[in-house]
Structure 1
Amino acid sequence: MFGFGLVIEPQLWTLLFVMIRVGAALIAAPVFGNVSVPLPVRVALSSAIAVLVLGTNTIQAPAEIFTLTTIMAVVAEALVGLALGFVLQIAFAAPLVAGEIIGGAMGIGFANMIDPNSGRSSPAIGQFLSIMLTLLFLSLDGHLVLVDMIVRSYRALPPGAAWLGAGQFRDIAFFGGYAFLAGLLLALPVGFLLLCLNLVMGMLSRSAPALNLFAIGLPASLAVGVVSIAIAFPAMGDYLQVIVREALAAAQSLVLA
């Protein structure tokens, strides 16, 4: 029994070493990193993917545990995993930006609800678009593509040589602007119609100063906003698919390049 423990101990250490990158990616990635996902489920998924990695790659874990070299290797593994998930998380912030723009133009910017992804309050419209993006992410097998990228990352960035360069960190930081650009383009159809409505209401206020704009403008903004969202939703759905594909492509090009 004692000899069996000596044999299996290196394999368990190798499994735990592989789970560091996998677990960090799942924590930072959308869907897997939701606060509603229990910790035992994340650990089970990390261990299952780690077994898959060990079956397809030859991983050599550090021989000693409590050394500076091992600590640096663990930090490097965690950074690679966090970078993979963080790039996807940036793109998933686009619906929240679009919800802020649309909600403010409709006059319901105060309508917030709890975001199950982060546990914080977010605009109701942004939450609706975020749920649609999550469903499209799953329907397009984005979660499977993420798992495939995690497995392939051990070939592109093998343990021991997994440090991200300064250029990769810079590109990941610059990719943060994509969330604002994608959110603006996602809200553009509805925002344009609401802008036209505001222009009309402004002209009415100048031509009829006695008109109560609060009694007319808010219901009109709500009605036009709901109708415009219903009309523009097919185009918004197509662009949500573009966001999913761009996020997966960016995660591969920025981290695994």
Structure 2
Amino acid sequence: MLGFGLSIEPQLWALMFVMVRIGAAFVAAPVFGAVSVPLTVRVTLSGAIGVLVLAAHPIAPPAQIFAVATFLSLAAEALVGFAIGFILQIAFAAPMIASEVIGGSMGIGFASSIDPQNGRSSPALGQFFSIMLTLLFLSVDGHLVLVQLLVQSYDAMPPGAAWLGIGQLKNIAFFGGYAFLAGLLLALPVGFLLLCLNLVVGMMSRAAPALNLFSIGLPASLAVGVVALAIGFPAMGDYMLVIVTESLGAVRSLVIG
């Protein structure tokens, strides 16, 4: 029993060391990091993928557990994992920006619901967009691509040399601007039509000052917004696929270069 315990302990330490990067990515990633996903599921998935990583890569963890170099290595592993998941989280923020633009123009910005991703209140229209983006992400096997990139990251950034460079951190910061660009482009079809409607209503108010705009403008904005969403959603769905592709490409450029 003593020999068996001594032989299994290094393997267990290596698995726990590998699980740090994978677990950090799952905490920050949009689908795996949802509050509806139990912690035991994330730990189990991290352990299962960690076994595959150890089988594909000869990873040697630090010899001493309680050492400064070991803690620095663990911090580097967690940083890489958080960066991989954070890039996908940035892309998934684009529907929320689009919902703020569209909801404010339609007059339903007050409508909110609980976001299953983070457990906080968010616009109801943004929930609809986020669910659609999540379904598209899963339909193109984005979760499998994420797992593949996590496994490949141990080739480009092996443990001990996994600190992110200045160029990689700059690319992550610049990718944050893509969320605003994607959100505005996602809201462009419906937002432009609502803008034209508001211009028409404004000209009507100038021509007839006694006209009650609240009794005409709000119902017209709601009706036109719902019809515009129904007509323009196929194009919006195509652009959501572009958002998924761009986010996975950003993760690939971070991992592989």
- The TM-score with structure 1 as length reference comes to 0.99
Aligned to 1:34: 34
- What is the rounded CA distance, in whole Å, between the counterparts of 2:127 and 2:212 in structure 1? 32
Q: Structure 1 stretches (4+) deviating beyond 4 angstroms?
A: none
Q: Is the 8 A contact 1:168 1:255 kept in 2?
A: no
- What is the rounded CA distance, in whole Å, between the counterparts of 1:197 and 1:124 in structure 2? 22
Q: Is the 8 A contact 1:83 1:255 kept in 2?
A: no
Aligned to 1:57: 57
- What is the rounded CA distance, in whole Å, between the counterparts of 1:211 and 1:62 in structure 2? 75
- What is the rounded CA distance, in whole Å, between the counterparts of 2:120 and 2:172 in structure 1? 24
- What is the rounded CA distance, in whole Å, between the counterparts of 1:255 and 1:104 in structure 2? 38
**Structure 2 counterparts to residues 80-99 of structure 1, below 5 A:** 80-99=80-99
> Alpha-carbon deviations, 1:85-131, whole Å to 9, x = none?
00010000000000000000001111111100011111111110000
Q: Is the 8 A contact 1:97 1:180 kept in 2?
A: yes
How far apart are 1:235 and its partner, in Å?
A: 0.1
- What is the rounded CA distance, in whole Å, between the counterparts of 1:49 and 1:100 in structure 2? 37
How far apart are 1:254 and its partner, in Å?
A: 2.9
Among all aligned residue pairs of Structure 1 and Structure 2, give the percentage whose two residues are the same amino acid: 73
Question: 3-state SS of the aligned residue for 2:122?
Answer: strand
- What is the rounded CA distance, in whole Å, between the counterparts of 1:153 and 1:127 in structure 2? 32
Question: 3-state SS of the aligned residue for 1:31?
Answer: coil
- What is the rounded CA distance, in whole Å, between the counterparts of 1:101 and 1:115 in structure 2? 18
Q: What amino acid does structure 1 have at the position aligned with 2:90?
A: I
> Alpha-carbon deviations, 1:131-154, whole Å to 9, x = none?
000000000000000000000000
**Structure 2 counterparts to residues 114-133 of structure 1, below 5 A:** 114-133=114-133
Question: 3-state SS of the aligned residue for 2:109?
Answer: coil
- What is the rounded CA distance, in whole Å, between the counterparts of 2:63 and 2:219 in structure 1? 68
- What is the rounded CA distance, in whole Å, between the counterparts of 1:76 and 1:256 in structure 2? 17
Aligned to 1:236: 236
RMSD: 0.6
> Alpha-carbon deviations, 1:37-78, whole Å to 9, x = none?
000000000000101111111111101100011010000000
Aligned to 2:156: 156
Q: Is the 8 A contact 1:164 1:255 kept in 2?
A: no
Q: Is the 8 A contact 2:20 2:78 kept in 1?
A: yes
Q: What amino acid does structure 2 have at the position aligned with 1:240?
A: M
Aligned to 2:210: 210
- The TM-score with structure 2 as length reference comes to 0.99
Q: How many residues align?
A: 257
Aligned to 1:106: 106
How far apart are 1:2 and its partner, in Å?
A: 1.4
How far apart are 1:256 and its partner, in Å?
A: 3.4
5+ residue gaps, structure 1, are none
- What is the rounded CA distance, in whole Å, between the counterparts of 1:247 and 1:171 in structure 2? 12
